[in-house]
Each structure stands twice: as C-alpha cells, then as structure tokens.
Amino acid sequence: MSPATDRLLRVTSRHSLADSVAHYRLEPADDMPLPPWTPGAHVEIGLSSGALRHYSLCGRPNDTRGFEIAVRRDPDGRGGSIELHDTVGPGSLLRVSEPRNHFELQPASGYLFIAGGIGITPILPMIDAAETAGTPWELIYIGRSRSSMAFLDRLDRWGPRVTVWPKDESGAFDATTVLRAVRQRTSVYCCGSPSLLEMVRDVCVERNLTLRSEQFEASPAPDSSTDREFEVELTESGKVLTVLPGASILDTIQDAGVEVPSSCGAGTCGTCETVVRSGSPDHRDVVLTPEEHAEGRYMMICVSRSKSPRLILER
C-alpha cells in the first residue's frame, strides 16, 4: 500500500447479499471526497492482521462519498475474507488504497460479460457503462446455486439479457456451446475462478474473440506462517544444522559454508536438487512429479521443508 494515497475509511453499512456474501459501504472518516474511478477498478484493503486484499468496486464510479464492495467468505482462502466477515462491521476503520484498474472496459461494438460467483462485482458497473454508451451487452452469471449468487435482484430488471446459470439447476457451464453464437466483433469480459477463465480463454482463442479477464485467485506462494524449525544432517560434512522458520534449507547450509549450486530460488529449475537419505520432505517445488514427491528420494532445498524433525541429505 502507499502511505501517500491510502485513506482511512469507515464501514458505514454491512448487509448480507447471499449465502456467505456480504456487502460493505466504506466512507471517508474526514470530509475529503473520494477519487472517481472507472468500471473494473479495485481497491486494496489493509486488514488489522496485516493482510492486504484486493476487492473490485461495485458501486457507482462517480460516487465520491463512498466505495462499495461485496466479499464472499472463503473458508478455503488465505483468511482475509474470513477476517473481514468475522471482525469488520459498521464503525470499523479500514486502510484503503486509491482505486486501481487493471480490467478497464474498452470501447467495443458489443460486450459479452461472463461472471463466476463473486466475480460479478466488477461486471456490475461495466453493465451500467455499456448501457450509458448504448453498446449492446449480455451477461452470463454462473454460480453454485441461486442462494449463493449475489445481486440477482439488481440484475432482474435486464430480463433476457442476463442468463443466470446456477450449476445445481443448469449443470456444468460449457463455454464452447455458449460462446458458439457470439459474434466475432463482440468483446468478452470474464471475471471468476482460474478454471472458468481458462475455459473461456480456450474458446476465445479457438474463435479469435477478444478477451479481457480478471482472475480471483489466491497467491501461489504457500502459506509460510505455520512453518516450523527442523534439523538437517549433511552426509558429507557430518554437519547438523537447524533450519528456522523463514529460512530455507539452501540458505541455512550455504550460510554454514557448504557450497550448493542453485539458480531459481523458487523450486522451478532443479539446480539445487538434493538426494534425501532419510526423513520426510515437505515438497513445495513445481518441478518434481507427484510420484517423485510421494517417493521422497529427491527434493528442491530452495523451497521445500521437512515434515519430520530431521532430514538427512546427501550434501
């Protein structure tokens, strides 16, 4: 976040929109108006745990008196949405960045909006903008079930231009069939899970359609907050070293003067691959196969850790 432009905003209302989805309105704690924004924009919110989370703005772009966001409580996420749901309510103060837009609505002769779940949020102001510009649009809104889908009431007025696709009623979403009828000059805007995005992307590639997308995705970095310390024993030098939380095996043994070639620092390239004599590695690389992970004979010591109190490594 940027101290120069962050604002302290007060939650002035919180209400439930659907199963596990809450809507928040945030207003300035002072009299300074908020900057206007464009459809597709998001803000970064700093939570009291220190977590930073990005949420699309779903209110009106020229409303300089408040921002609106809608957040789904994700029990499998990194914890930000749980913290927001469980600890933030009217009166709470939040540190909020200025709006940023990486999902800008570009002029087109027609739009097809595809929203998956809470991915509906940036699409709502886009619909208003398309309407204002007089550009034809349609929306396909996919969710688990109607009760989990926010804003259905707000979308009701658009009639057949909105296709609501609850998977428990309509079955799995099939982008190929749905996109078959889309005209070549239509721009597709998609916001949702990585798997929805990929499916839509594949069809757009096949059909040469312009696609813009925003992905709702957790960081690929593993959660390191629960890392524990463990020991590594090195067969060549006989050294026994303690790997602390926050340090890698590689750093630890290099700091102890043992030379190990390494290159990517991310478990990608395989340069630091090390033979495991005994112990149970906690694999975090992206290069070994699932079978190799299960076998546990090799490990990438730049990122992987240990499930057992001690690893014996051929180094």
Angle (nearest 5°) at CA 85 between 81 and 86 = 115
Nearer to other proteins, 184 or 226 (CB): 184
Distance separating alpha carbons of residues 184 and 9, to the nearest angstrom: 43
Phi first, then psi: what are they for 17, rounded to 5°?
-105, -35
261 binds other proteins (CB under 8 A): yes
Q: Which is nearest to 216 in space by CA: 111, 126, 142?
A: 142
Segment interacting with other proteins, rule: CB under 8 A, options 23-31, 168-176, 223-231, 268-276: 268-276
Count of residues engaged in binding other proteins, rule: CB under 8 A: 44
Nearer to other proteins, 40 or 80 (CB): 40
Least Å distance, CB 261 to other proteins, is: 6
Least Å distance, CB 159 to other proteins, is: 29
The one among 239, 270, 310, 312 contacting other proteins by CB under 8 A:
270
Residues 272-301 that bind other proteins (CB under 8 A): 273, 286-289, 292
Contact 213, 197 (CB under 8 A): yes
Nearer to other proteins, 10 or 207 (CB): 207
From the number of C-beta atoms within 10 Å of its C-beta (0-12, 13-18, 19+), residue 115 rates as buried
Measured between alpha carbons, how far is residue 181 from residues 169, 203, 204 in Å?
Answer: 22, 12, 12
String of DSSP letters for 186-218? PEEEEEE-HHHHHHHHHHHHHHT-EEEEEE---
- Beta-bridge partners for 192: 215
198 binds other proteins (CB under 8 A): yes
Distance separating alpha carbons of residues 123 and 183, to the nearest angstrom: 20
269 binds other proteins (CB under 8 A): yes
Segment interacting with other proteins, rule: CB under 8 A, options 109-117, 164-172, 242-250, 269-277: 269-277
176 binds other proteins (CB under 8 A): no
- Count of H-run helices and E-run strands, the chain: 8, 18
> What share of residues in the chain are helix, strand, coil (percent, to 5)?
25, 30, 45
Distance separating alpha carbons of residues 122 and 115, to the nearest angstrom: 9
77 binds other proteins (CB under 8 A): no
The one among 178, 266, 277, 312 contacting other proteins by CB under 8 A:
266
Residues 109-168 that bind other proteins (CB under 8 A): none
49 binds other proteins (CB under 8 A): no
Nearer to other proteins, 134 or 220 (CB): 220
Segment interacting with other proteins, rule: CB under 8 A, options 24-32, 100-108, 143-151, 227-235: 100-108
Segment interacting with other proteins, rule: CB under 8 A, options 80-88, 156-164, 239-247, 254-262: 254-262
Other beta carbons less than 10 A from residue 100's beta carbon: 13
Residues 204-243, one symbol each (x = binds other proteins by CB under 8 A, - = not), give: -xx-x-xxxxxx-x-xxx----------------------
Residues that bind other proteins (CB under 8 A): 1-2, 40, 44, 52, 100, 102-103, 106, 194, 197-198, 201-202, 205-206, 208, 210-215, 217, 219-221, 259, 261-266, 268-271, 273, 286-289, 292
